[in-house]
Structure 1
Amino acid sequence: MSAASYPKPIVYPAAAAHKSTLIMLHGLGDSGMGWADIAPMLAPDLPNTQFIFPTAASRPITVNGGMRMTGWYDIASLDRLDSEAQDAEAMQESKRYIEGLVEEQIPAGVPSTAIAVGGFSQGGAMALMLLRSKHQLAGVVGLSCYLLLHDQPPLVSEENKQTPVLMCHGDSDQVVAFQFGKDSYEKLNAAGAPVKFETYPFMGHEACQEELQEMKAFLQACLGYKKIGKM
C-alpha cells in the first residue's frame, strides 16, 4: 500500500513562528478530523507548534467481520498481543508513512527532535512504534494503547533512547485492557525508555480533560516550552 492510499492530513498551523510539530494519530475507524478539535484547545499553550492529524488507509478489519474501515493495521484479536496475532506488514507500512510525515517537516526547518508523535488506541500503538524509528523524536504520547510487536526487539532505537514517553490509560477500559497498557509500559521501562504511566480511575476507552491537560504539560516540556520533569 503506497502513501497515496492515505487521505491528505488535516493541518492546523502554528499560531506563531513554526518551531515544532505534533503528529496525532486516531484510533480504529476514526479519521484525523476526529482528533482535530484538540488543536484549538492546545494551541494557546503551544503557540509555535503545528498540528498534523493524518487519516489511516481503509482496510478490512478482522475483528469487525472483515468490514473495511480506516485502520493503521488489521486487528485479528483484542485478547492476544503476540506478534503471530498481529498484522506486522501493515504496521511497518503505516510506520513508514508516519516517518514520511516527519521527514516532510525537516525542509521547513523543523528537525525531528522538535516533532512529537501521539495517538489514541490503535494510533497510540503506532506512536509507540515510532520509538523504533531512525529519527530522534522530541516525545511520544500513547493514550489507551499498547506496544506493538513487543516480542520483536529492539523496542526503542538508539536514536530514541532518551525520547520521553507519556502513556495514559483508564483502569476501566473494556476495549484495550488496562493490563495491556501497564505491561507495555513495563516493557518500555525495562528497555530503558524514559516512560511515564498515568492511570485514570473509572475511565473507559476514551479520553478525559485531565488526561489531555497531562498531555499538554508533557508536550510543553518535550517541545521546549519549559523544562521536562523526571519521568
Structure 2
Amino acid sequence: MHADKTLIMLFHGIGASSAQLIPLASSYQSSLPEARVVVPDAPFRHQYGREWFSIHGDPLAPDRICRARKAFDATVTEIITREGFENSLDRVAFVGVSQGAIVSLDAVASGRWQVGSLVSFAGLLPPFRVTGGSNRTPVLLVHGDDDRTIPAFASTMAAGELRAAGYQVELDIQPHVGHTISPAGASRALAFLLRTLSQKPVTAPKVSAA
C-alpha cells in the first residue's frame, strides 16, 4: 500500500442502509482520489433497513453492548483486512451518522480502535468510561441545533468527556440544522479529514446528504 493511501469508512444510521451515504461517499471519493471510501451495511436487521444495535428494551444492557461491539469490530476488521490497512490504522477514518456515529464514538472512546480520524454527525457518546492512554484520535463532532432526535447537547457533552481524557476535539453546532448532514457539515468534515489524514488540501465540494 502506498503511503498516501487512506481508508474512509462511513457508517449509516438506524433503519437505513449503505445507500443512504452513497452521495456523501461519492463526493468524498472525488475529492480524495487516493482514498478508498467504503460504506458497509449495519449487521442487524431493522424493520426499515439495518441497525448497529436494537433500541428496544434496554440498549445499554451489557449483553446488548457486547453484541453490538463484536458486530461493529467484525465489520471494521473485515474491511481493514480486505483493504490492507492492518498496519496503517493512522490512515483510517471513521465517519458515522446518528447510530453509526454512536458506535464509531464508542469504538474510539473505549480504546478498541486507534484510528487516524473520527467524524460524528448527530451522534452521542455512550455512558461508559472514556479511555485515554495512547489513543489520540482527533475527533470532529458536528450537530444541528434543531436536532429533535438526538439533541445537540449530546455532542457538547461528548466533547467535554473526550477532551478530559486527552483527545483533540472540534465541536461544530450548526444553527437551523436538524437530524441530518448539512452541506456545510459535509464540507467541514471533508476539510477535517484532509487535515487529520495529512492529505493535500483541495476545494471542498457542496454536498447534501440525508
TM-based fold match above 0.5? yes
RMSD (Å) for aligned C-alpha atoms: 2.8
Residues in 2 aligned to 1:98 and 1:121: alpha-carbon distance in whole angstroms:
18
Residues in 1 aligned to 2:85 and 2:163: alpha-carbon distance in whole angstroms:
33
| 1:156 pairs with one of 112, 131, 136 | 131
- Residues 23-102 of structure 1 correspond to what in structure 2 (within 5 A)? 23-59=9-45, 67=47, 69-76=49-56, 83-84=60-61, 87-101=64-78
| 2:161 pairs with one of 168, 187, 196 | 187
Residues 20-68 of structure 1, C-alpha deviations (whole Å, 9 max, x = no match): 11000000011111101112212232121100101012346xxxxxx47
Stretches of structure 1 that go unaligned for 5 or more consecutive residues are: 1-15, 61-66
Equivalent position amino acid for 2:28 in 1: L
Equivalent position amino acid for 1:34 in 2: Q
| 1:63 corresponds to | none
In the TM superposition, residue 114 of structure 1 has moved relative to its aligned partner by: 0.3
| 2:117 pairs with one of 139, 160, 169 | 139
Give the structure, 1 or 2, with the largest relative contact order (CA under 8 Å, sep 6 or more).
2
Residues in 2 aligned to 1:100 and 1:91: alpha-carbon distance in whole angstroms:
14
Stretches of structure 2 that go unaligned for 5 or more consecutive residues are: 202-210
Distance 1:118-1:86 versus aligned 2 partners, 3 A rule: farther
Residues in 2 aligned to 1:212 and 1:68: alpha-carbon distance in whole angstroms:
25
Contact 1:21 1:110 in 2 (8 A): no
Residues in 2 aligned to 1:138 and 1:170: alpha-carbon distance in whole angstroms:
25
Distance 1:39-1:68 versus aligned 2 partners, 3 A rule: closer
In the TM superposition, residue 136 of structure 1 has moved relative to its aligned partner by: 2.5
Identity %: 23
